[in-house]
Structure 1
Amino acid sequence: MKKIFGLFFAMIMMTTFLIGCTTKKEAKTVDLDKIHEAVKETLGEDYAPNRELTMEEIENLTGIKEDNIEKIIAESPMISVNVDTFIGIKAKEGKGDIVEEGLDKYRKYLVEESMQYPMNIAKVNSAKVIRHEDYVFFVMLGKHDDRQEATDEERLEFAKEEVKKVEDVINKFFE
């Protein structure tokens, strides 16, 4: 009986020790303004968004409500012929799923339902939602592929490489 009690007591102590040694991973805090500036710097003249989107526009486009957002930077071009868009959102704690879902919904709408100028199809199809916990980004950015002889597949690959540049910039802030 003493051995059983001793073994039971040792297991309780070991469990308590292990629980005490585990640490909760803290969410990384980054500055959306710095990410935005780094994206703009990386793309240089190929960063086309020059108009801030209103919260009403964001809600209409994505369904994301302002009460799920702690901070947002959202830009698109003034001229609707160009589709370049940057949306960076720091969701309120625990609301990253809701924000990601809204941005995914917007991307899906653009790809599957919206009417696009032929020159924008590759860029729209390469748009990407990037998430790091409660930070969520929608990027449809980069240089326009002006090669006259390029195939649709080559244009799509070019657009994906442009988005990848932006994704790499964003990801560096979360390393």
Structure 2
Amino acid sequence: MKKVFGLFLAIIMMASFLVGCTSKNEAKEVDLKEIHSAVKEAFGEDYHPNRELTAEEIENFTGIKEAEIESFIAETPMISVNIDTFMAIKAKENKGSEIEESLEKYRKFLVEESVQYPMNIAKVNAAKVVRHGDYVFFLMLGKLDDRQEATDEERLEFAKAEVQKAEEAINKFFQ
């Protein structure tokens, strides 16, 4: 009986060790096209990006080199007044943190240094980078808060809730 109990305990400890050693940033294989479709579906008519970005444009905006990317889907609107941007990047193996860092720098640049139309400020400030292992996403999406009486703080909360729709759609693929 003691041997069985000891063996059981050893198995539990080994399982705990293995779970503890796996990175929480590891992610399973997912299809970027399916994620893109889910995000578009989450926004419906309020999904405005309609022009695909090239790898060269991604590098110009974010500094991410094509050699660091395994695959991507990136879109922005054709009309420059609208700033909605969706980037889904599957980084080369173990390059996820580097891609995340580059997208965070890009987000920070937009927030702190870029010139924006007043209607877009809340959306820029609500932009978010989401990472699941080597899958990294830049999200600046959603409906504009067109309430005339809304404060800047209320507009920011509205924009954050819009970005949250995209994040929730993405997170479902990694559960």
TM-score class, shorter-chain normalisation, is 0.7 to 0.9
State the TM-score, normalized to the length of structure 2: 0.86
**In the TM superposition, what is the alpha-carbon distance from 1:112 to its structure 2 partner?**
0.2
Report the counterpart of residue 34 of structure 2 in structure 1: 34
In the alignment, structure 2 segments of 5+ residues that lack a partner are 1-9
**Matched letter for residue 112 of structure 2:** E
Superposition CA RMSD, Å: 1.8
In the alignment, structure 1 segments of 5+ residues that lack a partner are 1-13
Number of residue pairs matched by the alignment: 159
**Matched letter for residue 82 of structure 2:** N
State the TM-score, normalized to the length of structure 1: 0.86
Alpha-carbon displacement from aligned partner over 1:101-138 (angstroms, at most 9, x marks no partner): 11001100000000000000000000000000000000
- How much identity, in percent, do the aligned residues show? 72
**In the TM superposition, what is the alpha-carbon distance from 1:18 to its structure 2 partner?**
4.7
What is the CA–CA distance in structure 2 between the aligned matches of 1:40 and 1:130, rounded to whole Å? 17
**1:72/1:152 Cα in 2 relative to 1: closer, same or farther (>3 Å)?**
same
Alpha-carbon displacement from aligned partner over 1:109-168 (angstroms, at most 9, x marks no partner): 000000000000000000000000000000000111111110100000000000011101
Given that residues 87 and 137 in structure 2 are in contact (C-alpha distance below 8 angstroms), is that contact kept between their aligned partners in structure 1? yes
- Indicate the SS of the match to 1:86: strand
- Equivalent positions of 1:23-62 (< 5 A) are 25=22, 27-62=27-62
Q: Pick which of 54-63 and 109-118 moved more.
A: 54-63
What is the CA–CA distance in structure 1 between the aligned matches of 2:34 and 2:43, rounded to whole Å? 14
What is the CA–CA distance in structure 1 between the aligned matches of 2:96 and 2:87, rounded to whole Å? 14
Q: Of the two, which has the highest radius of gyration?
A: 1
1:154 equivalenced with 2:154 (yes/no): yes
